[in-house]
Amino acid sequence: MTWRLITEDGVSAAYGLAADEAVTQRVGRDLSPQTVRLYTYRSHCALVGRFQTVENEVHLDYCRRHGIEVNRRPTGGGAIIMGADQLGVALMLARSDRTAYGRAREIMAQFSRGLLWALNELGIRAAFRRKNDLEVDCRKIAGLGLYRHPQGGLLFHASLLVDLDIPLMLRVLKTPFEKISDKQIRTVAERMTTVRRELGRAIEVAEVREAVARGFARAFELELTPGTFDADERQAIRELETRKYRNPEWIFQTADVPEAEGRAVLKTDGGLLDVRVSLAGRTIKAAYIRGDFFANEQAITDLEAHLRWHSSDPAAVRETVSRVYHQHRHDWSLISLSSLCEAIEQAIEHGAHHLNQSGEQPYGCFVTPARYHA
């Protein structure tokens, strides 16, 4: 089996996204060959997920002042920052499976094998974890996405972190942190990693890209033939870029799902728990657990990852927190399971309260003593 390999550097946000979608549609209609595209962006840009609201995810004023492009992906998931040191990966395949979204995690795990082969070849042991991440020791190194075109074709998206400017990311993307400090930068750095960080050397993006190409060829037992977009494909890309990805109506469409921030500070026998959550309707987009206590950092990171894009239903939250807590049962020192559940639930309640406020999403916190300790 042969797939086409296309490599590009320095693309714009609109062109990069338009090329992935336009060719996916053509592949689904048997007008283009199945394609692996490995590319980088010419400068930093912020790309939000298909169902997100730009204003809730991106600091638009900062982006405008610094010439950072903002756009919307066809794939779901969270907001990301892309640039010259983040490798964009797109698989455009001839699949019209209508159950793709119902099997999204299974399909993403399958397609991620090429990236895992590449990282392993480079000396990095990674694994597919959670809903759509590749991780190294519970630290995210790549995010994955999926899109099925209505007219046929399946698009697998990935962003592989060869390197990452975390202070810039925090200035571009909105987080529950009220201010950017050295401590917040360290907090995020402990939850993410990069190829360069894992290898301890300044590996070039080109070398990583070559490894990724070999990884997909090996994982899927196929031959990758270097190529370029033909004239018809370029015309389709230009038309979609103009009509959709340069259209503010696409980029700044407003999601119907309300969003809010919640915070709880809980005094416990094991120390002070400071929990912040971001909510999208009844879903936890992200959770951050900090405070003055002793615990294994990996246990905290693992719990935060499990709560990402998780139902805010109290029973579901307690089940997940309990499961992760017991997986790291020797790592929590004096922080009890009941206190941890209570702090997280209070933060969710606080965020849910603000969802009910008409047009307002103030940011504050609850400070209470723990009602019980287990």
265 lies in some domain: yes
Mean pLDDT per block of 10 residues along the chain (374 residues) reads 96 98 96 98 93 86 97 88 97 78 80 96 93 89 89 92 94 75 76 96 98 97 97 98 96 75 89 88 88 80 90 94 92 89 94 69 37 33
The pTM of the full predicted model, rounded to 2 decimals, is 0.74
Query: Can you spell out the DSSP letters for 60-88?
Result: HHHHHHTT-EEEE-SS-S--EEE-TTEEE
Residues 242 and 268 in one domain: no
Q: Classify 116 in phi/psi space as left (phi over 0), alpha (psi -120 to 50) or beta.
A: alpha
**Residue 259 backbone dihedrals phi, psi, to 5 degrees:** -130, 155
Is 143 a domain residue?
Answer: yes
pLDDT at 368: 40
Q: What is the pLDDT of residue 369?
A: 40
pLDDT computed for residue 101 by the predictor:
63
Q: Report residue 324: phi and psi, to 5°.
A: -70, -40
Give the pLDDT confidence score for residue 135 in this predicted structure.
Answer: 95
As for how many domains the chain has, the answer is 2
Q: In this predicted structure, what is the pLDDT of residue 130?
A: 72
CA angle at 116 for the pair 29 and 146, rounded to the nearest 5° = 35
Are 215 and 100 contained in the same domain?
A: yes
Would you say 50 and 74 are in contact if contact means Cβ atoms under 8 Å apart? Answer: yes
**Count helices and strands in the chain by DSSP H and E runs:** 14, 16
d(CA 338, CA 116): 37
Amino acid 367: pLDDT: 40
User: 187 is written with which tokens?
Assistant: 């907090």
Same domain membership, residue 285 and residue 190: no
Domain boundary residue among 193, 224, 251? 251
Query: What integer pLDDT is reported at residue 362 of this predicted model?
Result: 32
Parent domain of 40: 2-251
User: 158 and 16: one domain?
Assistant: yes
Distance CA 352, CA 320 (A): 19
Among 217, 251, 285, the domain boundary falls at: 251
CB < 8 Å & 24+ apart, contacts of 287-290: 287/344, 287/347, 288/175, 288/176, 288/177, 288/187, 289/340, 289/343, 289/344, 290/187
pLDDT of residue 259: 78
User: Which of 251, 267, 295 is the C-terminal boundary of a domain?
Assistant: 251
Same-domain check for residues 167 and 52: yes
Instruction: Tell me the C-alpha distance between 94 and 359, whole Å.
Output: 44
**273 domain residue, yes or no:** yes
Same domain (yes/no): 51, 192: yes
CATH assignment at residue 288: 3.30.390.50
Q: Which pLDDT does position 256 carry in this prediction?
A: 58
**What CATH number corresponds to the domain at position 109?**
3.30.930.10
Task: Please tell me whether residues 135 and 271 are part of one structural domain.
Answer: no
Same domain, 10 and 142: yes
88 and 30 together in one domain: yes
Residues 314 and 267 in one domain: yes
User: Does residue 374 sit within a domain?
Assistant: no
Tell me what pLDDT residue 180 has: 65
**Encoding tokens for residue 246?**
């340069």
